[in-house]
Chain A
């Protein structure tokens, strides 16, 4: 699965799409593959404040339960409720239909520390 160039990436394998003071967040192709078949996503509460690099929700597969970190600080404005009945979209389309939550009130300067697609791919290479 190629890494989309329009997105930014965190070291803990989340992707972010920043649009002004809003952002969308999901997990990367690498992350969904490592987790295996996703069985459940514990979505964050709409309206909750999240802090950069802090765990804000949990994603479960048969063999693992992983924390998803907020790549930026902000307020949860929307969650992908379709994941409640179809968590498998995180596996099949992690960058599209498998988005997990959206944030408002984000500070775009927070995004400065995130990697671009090229840097993320290099990061994956070195981590192997």
Chain B
């Protein structure tokens, strides 16, 4: 399938203007010995053939399983208008808005998106987007390191394990000390009794307060945490601030319509994954890293920021601002290297928040909470199965099974369910524990069927 418009005859005219005989002359600077040793690709397909090929591949994926898997990425309802508006090509075939007069649509949308993130988190300023929740958390870490001049970071064990791995990978070549604190009281005792009931609770204050010191740049917490548990970290933030430490919280944006905000808890920076705001799961991406912070930190924020201003006639307009910190100006002294970010995903998030609105988002969150609670009740009733209830949860909770969780999930797939995420994958010793997520899309019927299937599997 070729998208080239020019005909052979037009090319001949153009070659004349260039003063060469053939197109090959235009590549004369590339010596023969540097030409490709091989360039063997399949023959091009027509649009029709290509689509058939991909329908077949798509059909090989089990996207139809009733989804109870979360882990930070959720199967939420996406209103049709999000797709309809985000697929307007004036939005998606546009470039980064460096020529603001031609990009007022994109720029105003980014400004409004930033505002939405600020209103959700309660903080003062937000940026235009980062790649995903993990890189956003890493960038927040870097902000804290630059702002304090210190090189130690405390990460709570309830922070998404994938994010913790990412942060360590990014900083491997830099001399930063990491301390991880568990989400438990007396892990030792738990190991002896093999009972992680207290593991899936809230952040361990004792261990955190021991770790926080005046060499610490940042403390990273998550709410709800990876186990779905809700917390109020205000006490930890206060202790951090007493020691000059920057407090960072990774959050679930849908939950924020109901939960105590990072701002209310005193956090300096909030980051998170915006996939839940109108972005399809799409096997891992593209996603959306959002970041909001207190006003004093705005100049240390990575990424693009849209600002409102006026033109020469006094008309209101928008531009990308604070670019002096960015890579194309500061180069090796830039605060971050990010260039292309996730603008279209931010647009989708803003569309989602606008379409659902104040009440709509609260309703989604409430449905998630209520349905998750119902699921807990149904699963609790299954013999030999225990639901971790030592702390309140939002829409995700931990279940202890009498068998290996991975094995259980494997058998549940055959019954049509993606029943949950086996925690043993990221937490040693938790092989029998399953993380179950429920969103507003799961019906009472589906939840009931999940419980019945689970009972059948564990009681075999």
Contacts and interface: CB of A to CB of B under 8 A. Distances in A.
A–B in direct contact per CB < 8 Å: yes
A96 B329 CA distance: 29
Interface string B279-309: 0000000000000000000010000000000
Interface string A54-69: 0000001111110100
A36 B215 CA distance: 39
Interface residues of B, number: 7
A42 interface: yes
Contact of B299 (A40, A61, A63): A40
Contacts of B152: none
A108 B166 CA distance: 51
Q: Is the interface of B mostly helix, strand, loop or mixed?
A: helix
A39 B298 CA distance: 14
A58 to B, nearest CB: 9
B53 interface: no
Contacts of A39: 324
A60 B333 CA distance: 13
A60 B324 CA distance: 6
A40 B299 CA distance: 10
A42 B146 CA distance: 14
B330 interface: yes
B185 interface: no
B324 A64 contact: yes
A68 to B, nearest CB: 13
Contacts of A65: 324-325, 329-330, 333
Contacts of A60: 324-325
B241 to A, nearest CB: 19
A60 B334 CA distance: 13
Interface in A23-68: 39-40, 42, 60-65, 67
A89 B164 CA distance: 45
A64 B299 contact: no
Contact of A42 (B299, B323, B329): B299
Contacts of B333: 65, 67
Most buried by B among A40, A60, A63: A60
Contacts of B299: 40, 42
A39 to B, nearest CB: 7
Nearest to B324: A65
A60 B330 CA distance: 10
Contacts of B323: 62-63
A61 B333 CA distance: 15
A65 B323 CA distance: 9
Interface in B290-346: 299, 323-325, 329-330, 333
Nearest to A60: B324
Contacts of A63: 323-324, 329
Nearest to B326: A65
Contacts of B329: 63-65
Nearest to A66: B324
Contacts of B330: 65
Contacts of A61: 324
A60 B321 CA distance: 12
A115 to B, nearest CB: 26
B426 to A, nearest CB: 40
Most buried by A among B324, B329, B330: B324
Contacts of A67: 333
A36 B325 CA distance: 16
A40 B298 CA distance: 12
A62 B329 CA distance: 10
Nearest to A67: B333
17 contacts: A39-B324, A40-B299, A42-B299, A60-B325, A61-B324, A62-B323, A62-B324, A63-B323, A63-B324, A63-B329, A64-B324, A64-B329, A65-B325, A65-B329, A65-B330, A65-B333, A67-B333
Interface of A: 39-40, 42, 60-65, 67
Given A60-B324, A63-B324, 9 more contacts: A40-B299, A40-B324, A42-B299, A61-B324, A62-B323, A64-B329, A65-B329, A65-B333, A67-B333
Interface of B: 299, 323-325, 329-330, 333
Q: 5 tightest CB-CB pairs across the interface, nearest first?
A: A65-B324, A60-B324, A65-B330, A64-B329, A64-B324
